[in-house]
Amino acid sequence: MIVRLWGTRGSLASSGPDTAGYGGNTASVEVRSADGTILALDAGTGIRRLGAVIDPAVERVDVLLTHLHMDHIQGLGFFAPFFRRAGEVHVWGPASVTTDLRTRLTRYLSPPLFPVRIRDLDARVVLHDAPEEPITIGGFEVVARHVIHPGPTVGYRISADGASIAYLPDHEPALGARRFPEGPRLTSGFDLASGVDLVIHDGQYSGDELASRVGWGHSSVREAVAFGELANAHQLVLFHHDPSHSDAVLDGLTALARASATTIKVVAGREGDQYELPGG
């Protein structure tokens, strides 16, 4: 399985000289299995560059959305596979009790916010509720679970070729907990991340920043480490970097996270980074 980061920023794209190292594009991650199946995790601004490298001969691409906040869908309208007549794009997103996925996405993908409607895209577009029971997409097994973040939001666990990853880009598992972590049973996202090779997890804030942003749906880097270690994940990729954090700030937060880690390997997600996960 190959995992490639195309956008690691949270909340708002933030390109500029002080963010060039880790990148300014919002959430987008490519996952490829050995059989060539392609998953795009979220559709932030990074998905534009991902779309440009997908071979036009690829017949199907699956886009797995964790939720519909703007930084996770803004790139949808610029994803090249949508504009390939012979292709098929399956979009998965969290279920809502009141409004189907098409209606919710159409709020953005329609005038006046966007000139092209979903029905006018060239590819065949198929929309699905995120799967709460494991399903197979090409060479992958995929499962989604609701996680703590404002509004309907899921995280994903993806397995293939004997390797597994968890993707929880927007996640505040410590919300309301008297002490964190409180153990597997009471920790949002635990089942998704348990024992994975790689967990891509929200690490937007420092501890001081988080203190004034409790309930916004994000984690400090230390909470991300605590979560990853509770889940016994092998490696943590800090993700959803705050748009105000320069490369230097992210270097400092990453050092802080590493200092608090005892078992897990910690890296900060950097646009362009790639992880090759060998099979078991």
Joined together, the tokens standing for residue 175 give 């919300």
Q: Which of 115, 150, 151, 184 binds other proteins (CB under 8 A)?
A: 184
**Site residue total, other proteins (CB under 8 A):** 21
The Cα 66–Cα 144 span in angstroms is 9
Binding mask 90-109 for other proteins (x = CB under 8 A): ----xxxx------------
- Told to check if 66 binds other proteins by CB under 8 A, we report no
Residues numbered 214-243 forming contacts with other proteins, rule: CB under 8 A: none
182 or 276: CB nearest other proteins: 182
Which residue's CB is nearer to other proteins, number 137 or number 193? 193
- Rounded to whole angstroms, the Cα distance separating 5 from 32 reads 12
Would you say 95 or 135 has its CB closer to other proteins?
95
- Near other proteins by CB under 8 A, which window of 74-82, 84-92, 184-192, 198-206? 184-192
The candidate with the shortest Cα–Cα distance to 12, out of 50, 40, 48, 45, is 45
- Say whether residue 191 binds other proteins (CB under 8 A): yes
**Is the dihedral angle over the CA atoms 167, 169, 172, 174 positive or is it negative?**
positive
Among 185, 208, 262, 274, binds other proteins (CB under 8 A): 185
When the beta carbons of 94 and 269 are compared against other proteins, the nearer one is 94
258 vs 265: CA distance, rounded Å: 8
DSSP 3-state of 3: strand
What is the spatial distance between Cα 203 and Cα 255, in angstroms, rounded to a whole number? Answer: 13
Q: Does residue 175 bind other proteins (CB under 8 A)?
A: yes
Binders in 140-169 for other proteins, by CB under 8 A? 145-148, 152
Stretch that binds other proteins, among 58-66, 109-117, 187-195, 243-251 (CB under 8 A): 187-195
DSSP code of residue 11: S
Sheet holding 88-93: strands in order across?
A: 124-129, 88-93, 60-64, 38-41, 28-32, 2-7, 274-276
Contacts of 278 (CB under 8 A, 6+ apart): 161, 162, 163
Residues that bind other proteins (CB under 8 A): 94-97, 132, 145-148, 152, 175-178, 184-188, 190-191
